[in-house]
Amino acid sequence: SPAQKLVFNRVNGKRPQVLLHQVSAPEECYTLAHEENVRFVYEAWQQVEQQLDGSRSGDSACGPVQYVEKTPNPGLKNFVPIDLEEWWAQQFLAKIENCS
């Protein structure tokens, strides 16, 4: 069976409260405008994903169209996209291990 994957889900789109106190790393400060931009992009992307899922299952005749190259770039033949959720999970676990 494939390795289990650690997944972090947000409740109602809200940031989870930080439970660990960072000892040596300074806290990142986000402006209200930054938070609004992140929220806008996140919500818009969620809508696109829902519409894509609906069009795949035949629920919708119109909606977003996923781009597929007709002639793929040979330089990208061995390209492997990074799994950001997995990368962030590894970073999170590494911080926990370093703190304990």
Q: How far apart are CA 64 and CA 61, in angstroms?
A: 10
One-letter identity of residue 83 = D
Domains in the chain: boundaries: 29-57
Chain segment 52-65, per-residue pLDDT in tens: 887 766 655 677 77
CA distances from 10 to 17, 42, 43 (A): 10, 11, 12
Give the pTM.
0.39
Which portions of the chain are predicted below pLDDT 70?
1-27, 56-61, 100
Chain segment 66-79, per-residue pLDDT in tens: 788 889 889 888 98
Give the pLDDT score at 98: 86
